[in-house]
Amino acid sequence: MTITTILEKLPYGEPFLFVDTLEYIDEQKVTGSFTFRPNMDCYKGHFSGYPVTPGVLLTEVMAQIGLVCLGIYLTGGPEGMTFGLTSTNVEFMRPVMPGEKVTVTSEKIYFRFGKLKCRVVMTNVQGEEVSSGEIAGMIINPR
């Protein structure tokens, strides 16, 4: 499966698509990136005068790249396939500002019985760790 095919199979669209590129993917690992555009709605009222990216969106980027893209790769991404997040344990170390690009690297912990669990790390362009943790989800196959 190609990176282009994986991106086409993502079950998201604007404005909730948080994957710009995938740089690498195999059965164990995925790396991708996303840039938080300064005009995103989340910045309009989040810390007026000093907008930062909400942690829930950082987690979503980590899940879309680190869990969903890897899940599509592992299963072949059948038509109608979707994902349900089952657990997160994420720590945040640095703020992400409007306009900032982040890179997510995820390594599979396990994939069995339709559940995928990964160790995920997000870094900024300086290579500093922004957030990290474990994310798990259930793959929901079409009927």
Say which DSSP state 126 is in.
Answer: T
User: Is 46 marked active-site?
Assistant: yes
The H or E element that residue 64 is part of is none
At residue 136's C-alpha, the angle toward residues 140 and 38, to 5°, is 95
CA–CA separation, 45 and 72 (whole Å):
34
Among 7, 11, 21, 46, the one annotated catalytic: 46
Q: Which residues are catalytic?
A: 46
